[in-house]
């Protein structure tokens, strides 16, 4: 957001991929340090997912294992405008990143943020975020601040439960579910099995 006022140098986050795998799905861990860059909370770079064989982009499921998180989800339209969803999540909250949405994870807490996710194996797409200097909204100590490189069509703030309800999903502990009943996550490889939400 403000490169000239970046905080202390150092690694912002760590990713540990493929801790547990089932067929083409994997369980990952991300640790995001607690620090500010100017007024902006530490965050991941942000990325989109490529389309699956059905044509719909791959979804993903996240759980907060420790700390307080904010997620900025964004979906691009053909006219280059974007729709955004802001999701704030606390420990044990689990929710879906819907097909077609890029996303950034932010640490809005005082200590390290530890996230788990289950996702299909693919190469993430980062270009949109690097070209536009980040996500459509920055998560700052003063709230969300729009990135002027984007034209926002609409935005909303949802709870993890609200976004899951849109897709008819309920989650318990992510690792336990993925380890014991991995077939429940087949929609991650086959997003066409999810209901379509406009």
Domains and CATH numbers, the chain: 3-160 (2.60.120.10)
> If pLDDT is split at 50, 70 and 90, which confidence band does 4 have?
very low
The structure's pTM equals 0.93
Instruction: List b or e across 116-149, with b for residues whose CB sees 16 or more CB atoms inside 10 angstroms.
Output: bbbbbeeeeeeebbeebebbbbbbbeeebeebee
> If pLDDT is split at 50, 70 and 90, which confidence band does 8 have?
low
pLDDT tens, position by position, 170-188: 999 999 999 999 999 999 9
Please give the Cα distance from 130 to 119 (Å, whole number).
Answer: 22
What pLDDT was estimated at residue 5?
Answer: 46
Residue with tokens 């996710």: 117
* pLDDT reading at 30 higher than 50: yes
Q: Share the mean pLDDT of the chain.
A: 94
What pLDDT was estimated at residue 156?
Answer: 97
Is the CA virtual torsion 24, 25, 29, 30 positive or negative? Answer: positive
- For the beta carbon of residue 188, count every other beta carbon within 10 angstroms: 27
* pLDDT reading at 163 higher than 80: yes
For 183, phi then psi, to 5°, come to -65, -20
* pLDDT reading at 1 higher than 50: no
* pLDDT reading at 6 higher than 50: no
pLDDT tens, position by position, 33-83: 999 999 999 999 999 999 999 999 999 999 999 999 999 999 999 999 999
> If pLDDT is split at 50, 70 and 90, which confidence band does 197 have?
confident
């Amino acid at each position: 957001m403000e490169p000239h006022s970046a905080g202390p140098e150092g690694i912002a986050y760590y990713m540990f991929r493929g801790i547990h795998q089932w067929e083409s799905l994997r369980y990952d861990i991300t640790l995001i340090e607690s620090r500010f860059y100017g007024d902006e909370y530490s965050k991941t770079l942000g990325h989109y997912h490529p389309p699956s064989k059905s044509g719909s982009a791959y979804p993903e499921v996240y759980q907060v294992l420790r700390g307080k998180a904010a997620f900025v989800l964004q979906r691009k339209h053909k006219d280059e405008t974007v729709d955004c969803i802001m999701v704030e999540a606390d420990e044990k909250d689990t929710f879906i990143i819907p097909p077609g949405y890029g996303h950034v994870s932010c640490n809005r807490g005082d200590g390290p943020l530890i996230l788990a996710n289950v996702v299909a194996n693919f190469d993430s797409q980062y270009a949109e975020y690097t070209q536009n200097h980040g996500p459509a909204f920055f998560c700052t100590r003063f709230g969300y601040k729009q990135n002027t490189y984007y034209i926002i069509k609409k935005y909303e703030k949802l709870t993890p439960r609200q976004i899951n309800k849109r897709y008819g999903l309920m989650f318990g502990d992510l690792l336990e579910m993925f380890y014991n009943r991995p077939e429940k996550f087949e929609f991650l490889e086959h997003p066409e099995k999810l209901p379509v939400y406009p």
